[in-house]
Every structure is written in structure tokens, then in C-alpha cells.
Amino acid sequence: MGILQGKRIVVTGVLTDQSLAFGVARLAQQEGATLLLTGAGRGLSITERTARKLDVPVEVAEFDVTVPDHVESAREAARRVLGGVDGVLHSIGFAPASCLGDDLLAAPWQDVSVAMEVSAYSLKVLTDAFLPLMGPGGSFVGLDFDNTVAWPAYNWMGVAKAALEATSRYLAKELGPRGIRVNLVAAGPLKTMAAKSIPGFAAFEDVWSERAPLGWDVMDGGPVARACVALLSDWFPATTGEVVHVDGGFHAVGT
């Protein structure tokens, strides 16, 4: 039996089969989970095609976290397909081009607010949608990128990730009495579609390969998927409000 045997998991953020969320979905399914994927906007049809690449094809529900009506419709889709929800993967992030690059001051609030809503506030929106279907032992897991320092070019997305971390801690405090956990996985840089939108991504690759004591393969999302699946399982029953680094140890070693 897999560690997610009998678990009902909602996975957001699957676009192509190179996405981190797809790796989590595939491993979760192999570990026994029943899945529902979500997609949004013009990417919805791509998510639907990618969902058919899983070992067992799964349904896709439309869920744009900026559309209030989708909170209820996604909840009803999960109720219909899964019956209830035991775990949710938050893999949602976006920042307009002005929020990335070399000029932090160039981004207007209109663009920054988009980055904050989609990348951080969305964790609360997912909670609104699926908490009514979740009982004790449930787990929310989000994908993060370490933001304890300021990174070149990451700019307002780094600020949004800081907000995501704060949101996860406050949700952990609020949901803990219900027996529900909220954790994040801070992944090292990986060559995903999202990474392609970050200017100077190659510089991250070079630094990580030199400094991470365990080494780091930017083409291998497997370690991140394993961490997410473990946190979605019952194997971390007393862990919440945590940021688990899966980065080869990079975050712990100075230059």
C-alpha cells in the first residue's frame, strides 16, 4: 500500500508534464491517491490534455483563484469527483513582467497586487474552497522558493513568496485546532515553464550546483514531489507551519 492509499487530493498548477505539480500528481497517484486537478483560463485545455498523461487519467475542474464564483464551483467539483478532500497542493504563482528583472521600483501597484493575489492570497482562497470538505488529518501543502534573502531578478515575486510563507503560518495557527496541517516546500531552482519567465535563471543554476552540499539537478523534480507527497500523507502528523527546504542543502551553507 502507498502512503496516500485512500487519500483524496486536489492538485492545482498542473500545466505541462514538466511542471512540479504534475510530478506531485503522478507520484501521489502511484502512492494510492485519488486526484482532482484544477486549471484556469487559457491554460485549462492544456491541463486537461496533460491530465491524460497520468497513469490513470483524472478530471480537471476550472478554478481561477481571482474569480470568486470558482470557489464554490471548484468545491462542488471536488465533492462530486472525490466525495471529500484529504489534501490540497498549492502550486499557483504569477507576476507580471514589471515585477521581475533588475528594477524593483519599476513595478506599479496594479502589477504588484496581481502578484500578491495570485501567488500568496490564493492559499487562503484554496482554503475557502476545500476546507468545508476536509476533516482532521487533512493537509495543505504549497510550493515555495526561499525568500530569506533578496535574489537577483526575483524582486516582487520574492515579496509574494514571503507573503505566502506568512499566510501559511497564520493558516496553520487557525486550522491546527481542526487537526489540519499547512506546510510549504521550498524547492531549489528547476527548469520548469515558470522558471523560464524569470530573467537570469541560469545564474541560479550555476550558484546552486557550486554551493549545495548534496548537489542539485535542475532537471530533477523528484525530490520535491516526494517531499510534497510525504507532507500530504499521515507521516508528518505533528508538523505544521513549516517550510521544508528541498534544495540540496543550499539554504544552510554560506559562500
Q: Provide the 3-class DSSP secondary structure of residue 139.
A: strand
On whether residue 67 sits in a domain, the answer given is yes
On whether residue 207 sits in a domain, the answer given is no
The Cα–Cα gap between 11 and 35 comes to 7
Cα of 6 vs its chain's centroid, Å:
22
> What number is the average pLDDT over the span 69-80?
98
Domain with 26 in it: what CATH number? 3.40.50.720
Evaluate if residue 85 carries a pLDDT over 70: yes
Evaluate if residue 209 carries a pLDDT over 90: no
170 labelled catalytic: no
Q: Decide if 213 contacts 249 (C-beta within 8 A).
A: yes
Q: Domain count of the chain?
A: 1
On whether residue 149 sits in a domain, the answer given is yes
On whether residue 199 sits in a domain, the answer given is no
Evaluate if residue 201 carries a pLDDT over 90: no
132, 243, 223, 129: which is closest to 182 by C-alpha? Answer: 243
28, 11, 15, 29: which is closest to 89 by C-alpha? Answer: 11
HSE-CB of 10 using CA atoms within 13 angstroms: 34
154 labelled catalytic: yes
pLDDT value of position 43: 92
Exactly one of 53, 124, 161, 196 is catalytic; which is it?
161
Q: Sorting pLDDT into bands at 50, 70 and 90, what band is 63?
A: very high
Evaluate if residue 198 carries a pLDDT over 80: no
On whether residue 232 sits in a domain, the answer given is yes
Exactly one of 53, 124, 154, 191 is catalytic; which is it?
154
On whether residue 216 sits in a domain, the answer given is no
pLDDT value of position 197: 63
On whether residue 205 sits in a domain, the answer given is no
47, 9, 11, 250: which is closest to 149 by C-alpha? Answer: 250
Residues of the domain holding 160: 8-186+221-247
> What number is the average pLDDT over the span 210-214?
91
On whether residue 154 sits in a domain, the answer given is yes
Please give the share of the chain, as a percent, with pLDDT higher than 90: 86
Say what the pTM is. 0.95
